[in-house]
């Protein structure tokens, strides 16, 4: 993605990024509300308006990383409002990545129907649909990494016995530093690449 032009970045990747993270966070808020926690709803996060979910640093990183990586504000969840905190938090956390997989499938479907089957001659829409698949797969798989504060860390908690809570809290304390290490060394690409690549090609019909 290093060959993305500034025009492509502004007209294609930025809109898709905003759409993708907005839907991701919306489904966190929606599922939390369904499981009995109205915290996100009360804070105005149960909305499809992008400005409610934007994180200043995450958006800045998206531009600085040449439209390849960024994040939104995490949706707050109060576990005391949940009937079954461990189980409910698992599904609330999984809702975000699931929404990204859903978006990737939709973008891939549109690409196959409009570009491959109907032969739509538009380099803009071709790139738009491809970027939609790629960005959403990156967001989905990245958020499933079981390192705090990513969604995967909350999902991992569901499978860890309560007797290991102290060890998990200590692990989570250092997880952000490990996450930064993976990102800045590029190791995350070697982890996510083998997962994203095949699904990207399948969804685009290659």
DSSP string, the chain: -TT--HHHIIIIIHHHHHHHHHHHHHHHHHHHHHTT--HHHHTT-SSS-GGGTB-HHHHHHHHHTTSS---BPPPP--GGG-SSHHHHHHHHHHHHHHHHHHHHHHHHHHIIIIIIIS----HHHHHHHHHHHHHHHHHHHHHTSSSTTSHHHHHHHHHS-GGGHHHHHHHHHHHHHHHHHHHHHTHHHHHHHHHHHHHHHHHHT-
Residues 64-92 pLDDT 10s: 888 877 889 999 999 999 999 999 999 99
- Is residue 25 annotated as a catalytic residue, yes or no? yes
Which one of the listed residues 8, 25, 169, 172 is annotated catalytic?
25
- pLDDT for 65: 80
188 within a domain of the structure (yes/no): yes
Section 192-198 average pLDDT? 96
Is residue 2 predicted with pLDDT exceeding 80? no
Is residue 180 predicted with pLDDT exceeding 90? no
Is residue 102 predicted with pLDDT exceeding 60? yes
1 within a domain of the structure (yes/no): no
62 within a domain of the structure (yes/no): yes
Tell me which of 62 and 195 has the higher pLDDT.
Answer: 195
Number of domains in the chain: 1
95 within a domain of the structure (yes/no): yes
19 within a domain of the structure (yes/no): yes
Residues 15-40 pLDDT 10s: 999 999 999 999 999 999 999 999 99
121 within a domain of the structure (yes/no): yes
Give the domain extent around 173: 6-204
Residues 106-133 pLDDT 10s: 999 999 999 999 999 899 999 999 999 9
Section 168-196 average pLDDT? 92
């Amino acid at each position: 993605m290093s060959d993305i032009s500034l025009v492509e970045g502004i007209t294609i990747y930025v809109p898709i990024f905003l759409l993708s993270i907005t839907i991701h966070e919306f489904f966190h808020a929606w599922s939390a509300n369904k499981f009995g926690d109205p915290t996100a709803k009360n804070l105005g996060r149960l909305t499809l308006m992008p400005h409610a979910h934007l994180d200043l640093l995450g958006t800045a990183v998206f531009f600085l990383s040449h439209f390849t990586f960024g994040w939104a504000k995490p949706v707050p969840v109060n576990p005391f409002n949940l009937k079954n905190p461990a189980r409910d938090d698992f599904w609330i956390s999984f809702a975000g990545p699931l929404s990204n997989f859903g978006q990737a499938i939709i973008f891939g479907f549109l690409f196959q129907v409009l570009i491959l089957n109907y032969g739509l001659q538009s380099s803009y829409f071709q790139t738009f649909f491809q970027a939609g698949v790629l960005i959403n797969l990156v967001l989905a798989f990245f958020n499933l990494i079981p390192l705090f504060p990513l969604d995967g860390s909350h999902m991992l908690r569901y499978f860890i016995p309560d007797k290991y809570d102290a060890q998990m809290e200590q692990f989570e304390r250092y997880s952000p530093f490990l996450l930064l290490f993976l990102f800045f060394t590029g190791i995350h690409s070697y982890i996510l690449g083998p997962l994203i690549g095949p699904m990207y090609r399948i969804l685009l019909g290659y």
